[in-house]
């Protein structure tokens, strides 16, 4: 078990040079810091104690940021390494990114340095009790008052209370509030306003603002985050606090609309684009915890006096190996998307939008399922909090909902398919290549050219399969949409096929860039990834000419070969990830003790072991029968 991060060529490839360097710097800074190393068992803390511990750790990281000159991204990475989702990260991950994307140059010059110094700390307040996915339904109003050159923010109803706002419940001093701009009685729709919600000296609420911390979330989800509820009553802010990067409002009430309305969505594209890499890291942690346990755990089929390691069973390999391959794909493709986002000015926003939407849905759906699969593959012991698998699940589970609910967001892929099909304009969108195939009747009616199971390992064969599947599902969607059917459920399958293709292409491109020494491992991973997606996607081919029964049988055979040959590569990948014990925070992944010793230690520390506090109740229960004078019940 590593206590320092791995820095081999494969580690460098998986993490990316820049990120790995940040990781090493962060781990060096915190591995001897008592705020992190001597913290109590986080799995056993109450919500309030956990939140307070996380705040203390967050503040320590802030101090390290200032002392060591860390960038904002370095700080965000550090918050992820230090714990689950830390409240202080919202300012740097979401708030500042939105200021950068949506403020005018003058506003940026004034506000961003303050947020970077943490003199102010911000959050993003869009969702309301009554309005989430449907952003157009937002009710909060921001009415321009030309007499005072101010904007008056109001929450007119119960359903207009802001709700779910991360970091608002306790930490934030400022909120980016999405509200309807009203000028001279005219509703100009949603705009973004910077509202100070707490006093900078006392941290008391500002007048006319009410905030509540939201309370416990189910399954201890986001336990370290102070999501908040907020309402405004005639809360006045300067007109200049309306974010003016794309729109502006003059003192006389003249309104200048955005030239490119699509740019209002830039910040969503950015945050969604970051999610694939972030989720990949968390999924990899869960799968690696499970793999470490599966290497240790033995059940049945003894040989030379020892039962067989469970990692050798197909039931475990078929669940954990594809999950590991997907986690790596999330990280590699996520990194590529991050590079495109950093260069967003030169990007086709629609192409990037469709890629990030598909990737967000795919990564969160697979990611959450894979963390649960990791837990289940550990049998009964996987249920213990001390394995860390439960908290990883709780942390990832809402990723399917925030930044766009899966099924609602899937419709954006469906809508793009319909639009570009009608306009014959798919050439402009690389992610929609399958529409060109759909227009070609000859290609749609052709059969797969596969002759034997080895052929399935060929990248052109895999691409042909995945593109054909996306085209078949696009055809179904176009037909459903034309008939006026509610496609909001079925479109999900198209979205996943669309994203399978995007991830497959991204992974293939990345594999070609791996070092010669690691190429075999990366190719093995790409094959597990591709063949798993193909086997799981077979349903789309029912009734199609493309695949025969022999094709399906040989595909399954190829997939089994890919899985059974992956064990040594999986070990190499686990090494390359090089997660430290601190990061995994699991009794299944400790250098000084086995999982059994770790589990026993936890039991010995359980505060319920000493049951003196309930003994009177138990003794009374055991004599209850006497009270009713009945020896036999």
Ligand X SMILES: Cc1cc2nc3c(=O)[nH]c(=O)nc-3n(C[C@H](O)[C@H](O)[C@H](O)COP(=O)(O)OP(=O)(O)OC[C@H]3O[C@@H](n4cnc5c(N)ncnc54)[C@H](O)[C@@H]3O)c2cc1C
Catalytic machinery residues: 403
Cβ-closest residue to ligand X? Answer: 132
DSSP letter for each residue of 364-420: HHHHHHHHHHHHHTTGGGGGSGGGSHHHHHHHHGGGGTTTS-HHHHHHHHHHHHHHH
CA angle (283, 495, 459) in 5-degree steps: 75
Of the candidates 470, 451, 443, 437, the one whose C-alpha atom is nearest the C-alpha of residue 555 is 451
Give min distance, CB of 194 to ligand X, in A.
Answer: 15
- Residues lying near ligand X in the complex (CB under 6 A): 124-127, 132-133, 164-166, 222, 227, 398, 401-402, 404-405, 407-408, 488
Give min distance, CB of 61 to ligand X, in A.
Answer: 20
Give min distance, CB of 407 to ligand X, in A.
Answer: 4
Q: Annotation-wise, does 629 bind a ligand?
A: no
User: How do 150-154 and 228-232 pair as beta strands?
Assistant: unpaired
Closer to ligand X by CB, 296 or 407: give it: 407
Q: Annotation-wise, does 166 bind a ligand?
A: yes
Using DSSP, state whether 488 is helix, strand or coil: coil
273 vs 164: CA distance, rounded Å: 21
Closer to ligand X by CB, 166 or 367: give it: 166
Q: How many CB atoms lie within 10 A of CB 260?
A: 9
Closer to ligand X by CB, 65 or 360: give it: 360
599 vs 41: CA distance, rounded Å: 13
Closer to ligand X by CB, 227 or 514: give it: 227
Give min distance, CB of 200 to ligand X, in A.
Answer: 21
Give min distance, CB of 254 to ligand X, in A.
Answer: 30
Closer to ligand X by CB, 168 or 438: give it: 168
Closer to ligand X by CB, 175 or 286: give it: 175
Residues 196-199: contacts with CB within 8 Å, 24+ apart? 196/120, 196/237, 197/168, 197/172, 197/173, 197/230, 198/172, 198/173, 199/173
- Kind plus residue range of the DSSP H or E element containing 618: helix 615-627
Closer to ligand X by CB, 132 or 388: give it: 132
Contacting residues for 103 by C-beta, under 8 A, at least 6 apart? 111, 112, 243, 244, 245
Burial class (CB in 10 A: 0-12, 13-18, 19+), 304: exposed
Query: What is the distance between the terminal CA atoms of the chain, rounded to a whole angstrom?
Result: 56
Give min distance, CB of 98 to ligand X, in A.
Answer: 11
As a dihedral over the C-alpha atoms of residue 86, residue 28, residue 590, residue 284, rounded to 10 degrees, the angle is 60
Give min distance, CB of 228 to ligand X, in A.
Answer: 9
Going from the C-alpha of 527 to that of each of 207, 436, 532, the distances in angstroms are: 60, 26, 8
Binding-site positions for FAD? 127, 166
Residue numbering of the annotated binding site: 127, 166
């Amino acid at each position: 078990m590593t206590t320092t991060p791995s820095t081999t060529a494969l580690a460098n490839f998986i993490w990316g040079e820049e990120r790995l360097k940040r990781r090493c710097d962060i781990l060096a800074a915190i591995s001897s810091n008592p705020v992190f190393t001597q913290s109590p068992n986080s799995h056993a803390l109450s919500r309030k104690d956990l939140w307070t511990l996380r705040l203390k750790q967050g503040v320590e990281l802030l101090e390290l940021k200032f002392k060591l000159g860390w960038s904002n991204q370095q700080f965000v990475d550090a918050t992820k390494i230090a714990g689950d989702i830390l409240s202080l990260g919202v300012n740097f991950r979401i708030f500042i990114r939105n200021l950068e994307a949506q403020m005018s140059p003058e506003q940026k010059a004034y506000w961003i340095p303050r947020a970077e110094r943490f003199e102010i700390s911000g959050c993003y307040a869009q969702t309301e009790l009554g309005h989430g996915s449907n952003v157009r339904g937002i009710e909060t109003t921001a009415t321009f008052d030309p007499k005072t050159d101010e904007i008056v923010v109001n929450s007119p109803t119960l359903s207009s209370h802001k709700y779910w706002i991360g970091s608002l419940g306790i930490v934030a001093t400022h909120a980016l509030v999405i509200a309807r701009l009203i000028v001279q009685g005219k509703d100009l729709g949603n705009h973004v306003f910077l509202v100070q919600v707490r006093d900078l000296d006392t941290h008391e609420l500002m007048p006319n603002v009410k905030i509540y911390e939201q309370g416990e979330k189910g399954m201890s989800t986001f336990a370290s985050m102070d999501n908040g509820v907020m309402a405004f009553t005639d809360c006045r802010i300067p007109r200049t606090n309306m974010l003016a990067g794309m729109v502006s409002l003059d003192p006389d009430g003249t309104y200048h609309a955005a030239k490119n309305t699509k740019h209002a969505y830039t910040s969503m594209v950015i945050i969604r684009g970051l999610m694939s890499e972030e989720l990949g890291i968390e999924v990899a942690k869960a799968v690696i915890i499970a793999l470490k346990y599966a290497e240790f755990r033995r059940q049945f089929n003894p040989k030379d006096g020892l039962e067989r390691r469970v990692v050798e069973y197909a039931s475990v390999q078929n669940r954990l190996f594809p999950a590991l391959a997907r986690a790596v794909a999330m990280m590699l493709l996520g990194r590529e998307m991050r590079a495109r986002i950093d260069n967003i000015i030169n990007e086709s926003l629609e192409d990037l939008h469709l890629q990030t939407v598909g990737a967000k849905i795919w990564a969160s759906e697979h990611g959450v399922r894979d963390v649960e699969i990791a837990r289940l593959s550990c049998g009964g012991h996987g249920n213990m909090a001390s394995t860390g698998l439960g908290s990883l699940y709780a942390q990832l589970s809402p990723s399917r909902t925030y930044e766009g609910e899966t099924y609602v967001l899937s419709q954006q892929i469906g809508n793009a398919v319909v639009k570009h099909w009608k306009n014959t304009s798919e050439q402009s969108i690389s992610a929609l290549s399958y529409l060109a195939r759909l227009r070609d009747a000859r290609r749609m009616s052709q059969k797969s050219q596969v002759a034997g199971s080895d052929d399935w390992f060929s990248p052109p064969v895999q691409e042909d399969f995945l593109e054909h599947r996306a085209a078949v599902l696009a055809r179904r969607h176009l037909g459903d949409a034309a008939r006026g059917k509610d496609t909001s459920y079925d479109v999900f399958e198209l979205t996943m096929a669309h994203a399978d293709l995007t991830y497959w292409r991204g992974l293939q491109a990345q594999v070609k860039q791996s070092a010669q020494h690691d190429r075999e491992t990366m190719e093995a991973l790409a094959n597990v990834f591709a063949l798993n997606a193909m086997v799981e996607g077979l349903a789309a081919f029912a009734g199609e000419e493309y695949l025969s029964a022999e094709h399906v049988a040989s595909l399954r055979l190829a997939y089994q070969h890919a899985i059974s040959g992956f064990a040594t590569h999986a070990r190499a990948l686990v090494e390359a990830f090089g997660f430290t014990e601190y990061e995994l925070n699991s009794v299944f992944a400790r250098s000084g003790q086995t999982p059994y010793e770790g589990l026993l230690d936890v039991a010995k520390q359980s505060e319920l072991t000493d049951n003196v506090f309930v003994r009177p109740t138990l003794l009374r229960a055991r004599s209850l029968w006497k009270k009713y004078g009945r020896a036999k019940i």
